[in-house]
């Protein structure tokens, strides 16, 4: 499963006003791997994503990426995104004012500098890519609709589509199935598992059933550090995990 390490987080800590949100956390994921990150509220799951994507700077520790290995600590959010780390937020954040096609078009892998974007010519290839992605996320009939008019589940999918359009090497997905119907969830599971065949996917989730369906290694976070790691059956039978989840 794991060939080379794509992302390695080592000994990272960050605190907000004295509160240690992340405490000496170490984590690594390989090239084409799916990983679920679970943990109770306040375990530091979102902060963990903020640190990888450059939104929050850690107080100590290092984050290493790719080969040849380089540190992400000095890079801006946009530079990290350009390296191939895509992020989906917990609350679906799409550009509601713009059409589904435009949302995907903006996400497509291409030059990101103002000058090349200004003179960007929309090609047949772009149209083809947008259509393919829209088909994957079941929005092909809604391309011209305003993203704000989509249902909650469709917005989640659009955001996953925007992630795929970026063609990232690592996808960070925060609660992708929140607020979805059972059918929608199943399709989301398929999408993520398909993506994980060619790239690394980290899914942050609350819902144990959903995690079970993803059928992947699970990392349990608690109070800002890794509590347990292994198969879903392994971690759910771990006594400390049971204590953390049920003992409160």
Partner 1 sequence: MTRRRVPFVVRNPSVLVFLGLLAAFTLGVTVLSEATGIGLISTSMVKTLGKTLCFCLIAVAMDLVWGYCGILSLGHFAFFGLGGYMIGMWLMYARTEMIVVEALAAQPIPPTDAEIEAAIGNQIFGVVGGSEIPAIWMFADSLVIQLALVVLVPGLLALVFGWLAFRSRVTGVYLSILTQAMTLALALYLFQNDSGLRGNNGLSGLQNIPGFEQTPQSTISIAFLWASAAALGLGYLLIAWITSGKFGNVIRGIRDDEARVRFLGYNVEAYKLVVFTLTAVLAAIAGALYYPQAGIINPAEIAPIASIYLAVWVAIGGRGRLYGAVIGAAVVSLASSWFTGGQAPDIPLGFYTISWVDWWQVLLGLGFVLVTLFAPKGLGGLVDRLVRR
* Under 8 Å between Cβ of 54 and 77: yes
Residue closer to partner 1 by CB (options 63, 130) is 130
Residue closer to partner 1 by CB (options 176, 185) is 176
Q: List, in order, residues 6 or more apart from 167 with CB less than 8 Å away.
A: 84, 109
**Closest separation in Å from C-beta 48 to partner 1:** 15
**Closest separation in Å from C-beta 102 to partner 1:** 5
The SS3 of residue 90 is: coil
Count of CB atoms within 10 A of residue 61's CB? 17
**Closest separation in Å from C-beta 223 to partner 1:** 26
**Closest separation in Å from C-beta 163 to partner 1:** 9
The SS3 of residue 244 is: helix
Residue numbers of the site for partner 1 (CB under 8 A)? 53, 55, 76-79, 81-82, 86-87, 89, 93, 95-98, 101-102, 105-107, 112-114, 117-118, 120, 122, 127, 130-131, 143, 162, 166
Number of helices (H), then strands (E), in the chain: 10, 10
Report d(CA 87, CA 77) in Å as an integer.
11
What does the buried/exposed string (b/e) look like for 144-165 if buried means 16 or more CB atoms within 10 Å of the residue's CB? eeebeebeebbbbbbbbbbbbb
Residue closer to partner 1 by CB (options 76, 231) is 76
Cis ω for the linkage preceding 68 (within 30 of 0): yes
**Closest separation in Å from C-beta 87 to partner 1:** 5
Residue closer to partner 1 by CB (options 103, 236) is 103
**Closest separation in Å from C-beta 96 to partner 1:** 7
With tokens 């080592």, the residue in question is: 10
Report d(CA 124, CA 122) in Å as an integer.
7
Residue closer to partner 1 by CB (options 95, 245) is 95
Residue closer to partner 1 by CB (options 131, 193) is 131
């Amino acid at each position: 499963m794991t060939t080379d390490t794509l992302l390695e987080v080592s000994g990272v800590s960050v605190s907000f006003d004295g509160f240690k949100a992340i405490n000496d956390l170490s984590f690594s994921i390989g090239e084409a791997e799916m990983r679920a990150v679970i943990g109770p509220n306040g375990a530091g799951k979102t902060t963990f994503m903020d640190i990888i994507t450059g939104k929050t700077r850690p107080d100590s520790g290092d984050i290493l990426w790719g080969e040849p290995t380089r540190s992400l600590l000095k890079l801006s959010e946009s530079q990290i995104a350009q390296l191939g780390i895509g992020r989906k937020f917990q609350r679906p954040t799409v550009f509601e004012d713009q059409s589904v096609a435009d949302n995907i078009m903006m996400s497509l892998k291409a030059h990101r500098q103002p000058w090349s974007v200004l003179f960007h010519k929309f090609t047949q290839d772009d149209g083809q890519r947008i259509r393919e992605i829209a088909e994957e996320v079941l929005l092909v009939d809604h391309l011209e609709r305003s993203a704000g008019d989509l249902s909650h589940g469709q917005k989640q999918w659009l955001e996953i589509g925007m992630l795929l359009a970026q063609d990232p090497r690592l996808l960070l997905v925060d609660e992708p199935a929140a607020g979805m119907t059972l059918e929608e969830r199943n399709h989301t599971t398929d999408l993520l598992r398909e993506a994980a065949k060619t790239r690394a996917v980290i899914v942050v989730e609350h819902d144990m059933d959903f995690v079970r369906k993803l059928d992947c290694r699970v990392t349990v976070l608690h109070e800002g550090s890794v509590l347990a790691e292994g198969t879903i059956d392994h971690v759910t039978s771990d006594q400390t995990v049971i204590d953390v989840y049920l003992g409160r």
